[in-house]
Structure 1
């Protein structure tokens, strides 16, 4: 069945974009595509599903570029993440050719490190910020009250999965601050919790329904 909502973001850090089709009823089901020219030119397709509480239940990601393709699947079962990665070709050769460090392998060596993560993140994506915003009800909640989260973070284009600690703080009716060990950024959102502006990453340019 065709998904009813389309959202499009233009990248501001590198040439690129994100397009997502989604159904936000009873949680979220979304299919999306990331395009970026750096660190190497690639396309990344994702499919994510949450429960009615907006906690992530499953994420499938596939990234591909010249001479390589990678995939990763995260599934939550009995409170623990099952992580499956796949690789074809040689992403490292393409990265080093473009002057970048080698990538980690797709997936996660020890999925138990992700225990306690109710949200997933995808680097370069503006959509995934919506998951903790909606799960915690941050829009309209008390300003300045912070929430510390553990997130299963998927690095793109390597699709390595790492555990990341983040602090989410509502600032105003349409703004939320997200911070980690190295950075902090103030997101601007619409009334449904979807990002309209993530400084340094992306700005939403079209919305259709």
Structure 2
């Protein structure tokens, strides 16, 4: 496994948790990372994501593990179609029920063609993945009020269900982007490379950069 020249670390502000990503963004993005959180049940998530040189996502692999269960999903894009494969051990729904939460349902998707318009993936709870459309669309240096409406393949955590989601990114000037999806919106502070420094209500960078 190749070493990575860059590192980013975030502390969750919505719950106890963190994310550490190792990455190489010399030609597109190759990254692997680990996320931890205690909500809705304690879990550890490991991921690897790859884009082409234009920052269009080509592959995402995710594995999430908690007490008595483990799930994984792999998304691969080729010829403008997504292939989605999943695996599951143990019983996440039983762990959720014991903690008083609703069932998660099955990982993956029963219809990958619903993801056909997605050029980006979004991993729930990860501020790293906002960088994919920011860099692909050149939003970090775009004039204020530049807006792009996109479809992403949204991977929910910890269920690893994959659903299409419409998102809107609007440049607010240098170093700031507004992210919106349905009725939710947040103004993100970015570093000079387009990585999230502060995502209100979710995470803040803790690597001192």
Query: TM-score if structure 1 supplies the norm length?
Result: 0.98
> Quick check: 1:61 aligned with 2:62?
yes
2-structure distance, mates of 1:157, 1:112: 23
2-side partners of 1:37 and 1:169: how far apart?
31
Aligned length: 208
Local SS of the residue matching 2:48 = strand
Cα deviations by residue, 1:19-42 (Å, 9 ceiling, x for unpaired) = 000001100000000000110000
Instruction: Classify the secondary structure of the residue corresponding to 1:92.
Output: helix
- Quote the residue 2:122 is aligned against: 121
Q: Could you say which structure has the greater relative contact order, defined with CA pairs below 8 angstroms and 6 or more residues apart?
A: 1
Q: Residue 87 of structure 1 corresponds to which residue in structure 2?
A: 88
- Runs of 4+ in structure 1 deviating by more than 6 angstroms, as ranges, are none
Q: 1:139 Cα shift?
A: 1.2
Q: CA deviation at 1:207?
A: 5.0
1:91 and 1:126 map into 2 onto residues whose CA distance is: 24
CA distance in 2, matches of 1:182, 1:75: 29
- Partner of residue 110, structure 1: 111
Shift, 1:47, TM fit: 0.1
| Corresponding residue SS for 1:39 | coil
Q: Distance in 2 between matches of 1:13 and 1:172?
A: 26
Cα-to-partner distance string for 1:69-113 (whole Å, 9 max, x where unaligned): 000000001000000011100000000111111002111110000
Q: Does structure 2 retain, via aligned residues, the 8 Å contact 1:171–1:177?
A: yes
1:7–1:207 CA contact under 8 A, matched in 2: no
Residue 157 (1) aligns with residue 133 (2): no
**Ranges in structure 2 where 5+ consecutive residues have no aligned partner:** none
| Secondary structure, counterpart of 2:141 in structure 1 | coil
TM-score of the superposed pair, with normalisation by structure 2: 0.98
